[in-house]
Amino acid sequence: MKRKKVINIILWTFNIAVFIGLILSVISVRIDPLENDWMPLFGLSYPLLLLFNVAFVILWILRKKHWYFLSLAAILLGFGTLSTFFQINFYEETEKQPDEIKILTYNVRLFGLYEEDDGYRRDKIFDYLVEEAADVMCFQEFYYTANKRGFITRDSLLKIQDATYLHEKYTHEFRYKQNFGVVTMSKHPIVFRGYIPFDGDINNFCIYSDIKLPSGDTIRVYNAHLASIRFQKQDYDFIKGSEAKSKSTYSAGKRIVNRLQSAFEKRSIQLNKVLEDVATSPYPTFLIGDFNDSPISHCYSTITNQLEDSFMEKGNGIGNTYNGSFPSLRIDYIFHDKNIECTDFNIFRGDYSDHFSINAKFKISTND
């Protein structure tokens, strides 16, 4: 009996801890990382905390204990949060209609520049883009070189698909005419190009393109790449449990937490700058890109106070877009004005980048 009681106390203590953690993760979306840089860590942990609480509900029911009400209450309190990760929408996908536009976003991770695969990843990405035939394509971590003997991306892509109107912005030119940055390609004329720099961060920024549609309407498409965590190899090794034993667990954990907190704060500042510009847009607007933040974040909450999330409207299943060490994360988005109707949403899970691509179809309605 004593052993059973000790086990129950341990389980109950752990249950209370994950219950509190889940509550804090739901609350964290309301707190700006600039005010409290610890709360976003709970939001990032939401999927894991949710699984623990579900496990405790099952455990206590099987053991015929009423304690399952604790975790069940936390799950129900954050039920709306769960829908940002998983959606069920009943509709039949149809061919793109003449009054619809198709928009795609993809962090292409330099098209596999540093992979020893003879351009396999690049070519598979090209195949996907040609097949999707989107009206507007937004890319992050785009690689381009003017060296004709180099790893050719942009020029080949422009030749094999119809989105030939171009808006590109690169960090700066590296050796051998190499460029890394953000690119928007469109089938329809880009009539204005804008740029939003982020102070103190040359690697991340936002561009926006005013695009004239065949209907005569003009839309504005923001293509953003917000600050990443910038984990190093040693950080990934620690997360995977393969870091050298000589390394201190405390110092490694502290290093990772510091990187996370710094990124949360940077994204808050960068997003506020972008949304200030979005608020001035004279046209139906899309905010698209790699935001490096999950839906359980102040970043996401702030955006959805102003714009709609296309995944929430027409997505199905698990919405994760990060193809890396944190498989539950959804960090790539297509947001849009409330007067724009999303008619379809898809995630392309090709294993050619550390991100999956997403694409969606829309009907534009204006008050003109």
DSSP string of 72-118?
Answer: HHHHHHTHHHHTTTEE-------PPPTTEEEEEEEE-GGGGTTSSST
User: In degrees to the nearest 10, what's the CA dihedral of 266, 272, 274, 275?
Assistant: 150
> What does the DSSP 8-state code read for residue 32?
-
Buried b (16+ CB within 10 A) or exposed e, 115-131: eeeebebbebbbebbee
Note down the domain range covering 151.
Answer: 100-364
350, exposed or middle or buried, with CB in 10 Å at 0-12, 13-18, 19+? Answer: middle
In the prediction, which pLDDT does 302 show? 97
Q: The tokens of 285 are what?
A: 């607007």
Are residues 64 and 113 both part of a single domain?
Answer: no
| Cβ pair 345, 314 in contact under 8 A | yes
Query: What whole-number distance in Å separates Cα of residue 16 and Cα of residue 39?
Result: 18
**In-domain check, residue 217:** yes
In the prediction, which pLDDT does 368 show? 46
User: In degrees to the nearest 10, what's the CA dihedral of 270, 275, 281, 286?
Assistant: 90
Handedness of CA 280, 285, 291, 297 (dihedral sign): positive
Are residues 295 and 325 both part of a single domain?
Answer: yes
Are residues 226 and 161 both part of a single domain?
Answer: yes
Are residues 155 and 8 both part of a single domain?
Answer: no
**First-to-final CA distance of the chain:** 76
In the prediction, which pLDDT does 246 show? 47
297, exposed or middle or buried, with CB in 10 Å at 0-12, 13-18, 19+? Answer: buried
- Which CATH number fits the domain that encloses residue 195? 3.60.10.10
Are residues 69 and 185 both part of a single domain?
Answer: no
In the prediction, which pLDDT does 34 show? 96
Residues (pLDDT < 70) of the chain are: 1, 173, 175, 231-247, 326-328, 366-368
pTM recorded for the entire structure: 0.93
Are residues 6 and 119 both part of a single domain?
Answer: no
Query: What whole-number distance in Å separates Cα of residue 66 and Cα of residue 5?
Result: 16
Q: What is the pLDDT of residues 10-31, one digit of tens each?
A: 999 999 999 999 999 999 999 9
| Cβ pair 316, 89 in contact under 8 A | yes
Count of domains for the chain: 2
Are residues 119 and 6 both part of a single domain?
Answer: no
In the prediction, which pLDDT does 242 show? 53
Query: What whole-number distance in Å separates Cα of residue 220 and Cα of residue 209?
Result: 6
Query: What whole-number distance in Å separates Cα of residue 152 and Cα of residue 119?
Result: 9
**In-domain check, residue 90:** no
Query: What whole-number distance in Å separates Cα of residue 279 and Cα of residue 77?
Result: 32
Are residues 30 and 129 both part of a single domain?
Answer: no
| Cβ pair 320, 331 in contact under 8 A | no
In the prediction, which pLDDT does 2 show? 78
**In-domain check, residue 145:** yes
Query: What whole-number distance in Å separates Cα of residue 177 and Cα of residue 146?
Result: 6
| Cβ pair 26, 44 in contact under 8 A | no
Are residues 350 and 235 both part of a single domain?
Answer: yes
| Cβ pair 322, 354 in contact under 8 A | yes
In the prediction, which pLDDT does 254 show? 83
Are residues 275 and 349 both part of a single domain?
Answer: yes
Are residues 131 and 74 both part of a single domain?
Answer: no
Q: Tokens 């623990």 appear where?
A: 52
Provide the 3-class DSSP secondary structure of residue 231.
Answer: coil
